[in-house]
Amino acid sequence: MGPKVVVFDISVIRALWETRVKKHKAWQKQEAERLEKSALEKIKEEWSFVAECRRKGIPQAVYCKNGFIDTSVRLLDKIERNSLAKQSTVSKERDKRSSEFVFELTGEHWKELPDSLKEQTHLKEWHISNTLIQIIPKYIELFQAMRILDLPKNQISCLPAEIGRLKNLKELNVRFNRLKSIPPELGDCENLEKLDCFGNLELTELPFELSNLKQVSFIDISANKFSSVPICVLRMSNLQWLDISNNNLNDLPQDIDRLQELQTLLLYKNKLTYLPFALLNLKKLTLLVVSGDHLVELPTALWDSSTPLKFVSLMDNPIENTQCQDGNETMESEQDRQHFDKEFMKAYIEDLKERESLPSYTTKVSFSLQL
């Protein structure tokens, strides 16, 4: 007996399937209507709405009236728009209030500060850069709320003694100016935390009165003419970063271990012939960078890999600046060269901090290009 072949009428099967689909859709519709009328579903919707409002910080009084919660989507959108508008207004007002305390000035067309500045004694910050201004006026003492004096890349030749009246001053940046001295009165700014004198080229000392600055944690006096570490610096008990690179140092003081909080010490581009054993007493020192061309004696413990100290000896290979054919001008100014060198070393040091290990010495080649 051969296999049975069952033959169906396809239209019958289709009709049966369509009937089942219609019944299922009808059931879904009825269930949706039931849930819509259900008090439980209403409560769930309200709780979800309340939770969303609370998450967005919307006050209850906005969406709850006489004990009834308005779960309208339009209401939520309206509340969000009003909230965003309010936040934007608050942000603008905050920025406006902040800018009211900040003075900014830049451009070589400025040779002196505007007269109107004298009346704005409420200012907390000055940011003046890339100008031809040579003098900071004595009336700076009127700015008792001053916290930041940011004065890089100008032509400032001296700072007024009145700067010592700024009792709230925390940061002083006078890099790339023409300073030959720092006023002793700066030592009266007992809240000062950061002093940056990089690239003035002619500074030879810091006044002893700066010993009073016990809050200073950052000192940069690189690219000047210091022949020794200033005595006042050795008395800054909170100092953590000291950059005295590119000066005329021949040795380090034996009591440099007074700086017990020191973490970074940059000494490259000097003429050090030895490093004192006192450096080993700086327990928090994690980065020491020197120029190794003239070094003949240094503590062997500096090489100990078991300590957290990263010791880097740079082997400088300087090439004299190439001059133009007339011999009167160099291809780039001394300050530009110092700035480039500083940025290079900044990137290099950041890279060193991220390394787990580093070479015992590094050769850094300087070069100039004549067009």
| Domain range annotation of the chain | 45-99, 100-365
Least confident of 39-48, 229-238, 295-304: 39-48
The H or E element containing residue 240 is: none
The pLDDT of residue 48 is: 72
**pLDDT at residue 332, as a whole number:** 46
Q: Give the pLDDT mean for 227-243.
A: 96
State the pLDDT at residue 284. 94
Instruction: Tell me the C-alpha distance between 158 and 135, whole Å.
Output: 7
Q: What distances in angstroms separate CA 195 from CA 84, 216, 219, 232, one per listed residue?
A: 41, 8, 5, 13
Q: Is the pLDDT of residue 95 over 80?
A: no
The whole-number average pLDDT for the span 234-242 is 96
For residue 317 the two structure tokens come to 């290979």
Q: Indicate the helix (H) or strand (E) that contains 51.
A: helix 39-55
65-80 tens-digit pLDDT: 665 666 554 555 655 5
pLDDT tier for residue 299 given thresholds of 50, 70 and 90 = confident
Give the burial string for 92-104 (b: 16+ CB within 10 Å, else e).
Answer: eeeeeeeeeeebe
Task: Kindly state the helix (H) or strand (E) to which residue 100 belongs, with its residue range.
Answer: none
Q: Is the pLDDT of residue 83 over 80?
A: no
What is the pLDDT averaged over residues 241-252? 94
Task: Mention every residue, 6+ apart, whose C-beta is less than 8 A from residue 273.
Answer: 250, 251, 294, 295, 296, 297
Residue 354 has a pLDDT of 61
How far apart CA 235 and CA 261 sit, in angstroms, is 11
Assess whether pLDDT exceeds 80 at residue 3: no
Question: pTM for this one?
Answer: 0.67
What pLDDT, in 10s, does the model give residues 260-280?
Answer: 999 999 999 999 998 999 999
Average pLDDT, the chain: 79
Identify whether the C-beta of residue 225 lies closer than 8 Å to the C-beta of residue 205.
Answer: no
pLDDT at 189 over 60: yes
Angle between helices 39-55 and 73-99 (to 10 degrees): 10
Q: What span, in angstroms and rounded, lies between the C-alpha atoms of 210 and 200?
A: 18
Picking from 266, 244, 250, the residue whose alpha carbon sits closest to that of residue 313 is 266
Tell me: the pLDDT tens digits for 320-370? 444 444 444 443 467 777 777 777 777 677 766 666 555 544 444 443 333
pLDDT at 338: 75
Identify which of 129, 126, 108 has the alpha carbon closest to the alpha carbon of residue 117: 126
CATH architecture for residues 100-365: Alpha-Beta Horseshoe (3.80)
At residue 213, the 3 state secondary structure works out as coil
Give per-residue pLDDT as tens, 140-160.
Answer: 999 999 999 999 999 999 999
d(CA 157, CA 264): 29
The continuous run of DSSP H or E covering 125 comes out as: strand 125-129
> Quick one: 157 exposed, middle or buried, by C-beta within 10 A (0-12, 13-18, 19+)?
middle
Sequence-ordered strand ranges (E) for 221-309: 241-243, 264-266, 287-291
In the chain, the percentage of residues whose pLDDT exceeds 70 is 66
pLDDT in tens, 277-291: 999 999 999 999 998
Average pLDDT over residues 40-55: 67
Higher confidence at residue 67 or residue 314? 314
28-37, 135-144, 235-244: least confident range: 28-37
Asked if residues 114 and 137 have their Cβ atoms less than 8 Å apart, the reply is no
